[in-house]
């Protein structure tokens, strides 16, 4: 399993995303609910040493940070991943680059390419393993509301092996 460092949302934004997950699930679409927590992955690797928490703790004064969730976005080819794009502000991109720089010595064997600065697409995942026949229905659900304005309230480290989260700053 993978390890990651992630942004977490304020309670109202998290509730809005969970509501979209629930509506997708009720429509028969394989949503993230209830297995996960809404988040934005900043870096991901096979393993991230827990010592990264102290290094990233210096970023605590950046929170809360405004964040807007925009349009639906699809990843993949045969098995689609439905997400909503996170509007990439200068503040968000700077934070991402700083997390990458601070975390790099603790990431083994190295960060996955799609999470590198310059290759990262900020997003929050809504549903995985979508099939073509579900796409229209999923997009109608996922696109409402058109924009979600909220805040990022901190960072967490996710350990995919133990399926546990560790608060870094909140």
The yes-or-no verdict on residue 78 having pLDDT over 80 is no
Q: Which domains occur in the chain, in start order?
A: 3-169 (3.90.1140.10)
- Which residue bears the tokens 């509007």? 87
Secondary structure letter of residue 28 according to DSSP: T
Q: Are 43 and 4 in contact (CB under 8 A)?
A: yes
The yes-or-no verdict on residue 59 having pLDDT over 90 is yes
C-alpha angle 17-101-127 in degrees, rounded to nearest 5? 20
In the structure, what pLDDT confidence band is assigned to residue 38 with cuts at 50, 70 and 90? very high
The yes-or-no verdict on residue 170 having pLDDT over 70 is no
Whole-structure pTM value? 0.94
Q: Which among 72, 77, 71, 73 is positioned nearest to 131, based on CA atoms?
A: 77
In the structure, what pLDDT confidence band is assigned to residue 31 with cuts at 50, 70 and 90? confident
In the structure, what pLDDT confidence band is assigned to residue 130 with cuts at 50, 70 and 90? confident
Q: Mean pLDDT throughout 43-67?
A: 96
Lowest mean pLDDT among 86-90, 95-99, 160-164: 160-164
- Which residue bears the tokens 């390419």? 113
CA-CA distances (angstroms) from residue 149 to 98, 145, 169? 23, 10, 21
């Amino acid at each position: 399993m993978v390890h990651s460092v992630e942004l977490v949302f304020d309670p109202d934004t998290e509730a809005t995303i969970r509501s979209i997950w629930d509506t997708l699930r009720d429509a028969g679409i394989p949503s993230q609910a209830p297995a996960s927590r809404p988040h934005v992955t900043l870096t991901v690797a096979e393993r991230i040493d827990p010592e990264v928490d102290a290094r990233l703790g210096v970023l605590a004064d950046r929170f809360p940070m405004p964040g807007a969730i925009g349009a639906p976005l699809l990843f993949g080819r045969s098995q689609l991943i439905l997400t909503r794009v996170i509007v990439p502000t200068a503040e968000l991109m700077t934070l991402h680059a700083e997390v990458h720089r601070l975390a790099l010595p603790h990431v083994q064997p190295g960060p996955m390419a799609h999470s590198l600065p310059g290759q990262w697409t900020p997003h929050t995942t809504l549903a995985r393993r979508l099939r073509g026949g579900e796409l229209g229905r999923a997009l109608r659900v996922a696109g409402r509301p058109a924009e979600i304005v909220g805040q990022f309230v901190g960072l967490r480290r996710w350990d995919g092996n133990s399926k546990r989260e560790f608060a870094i700053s909140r």
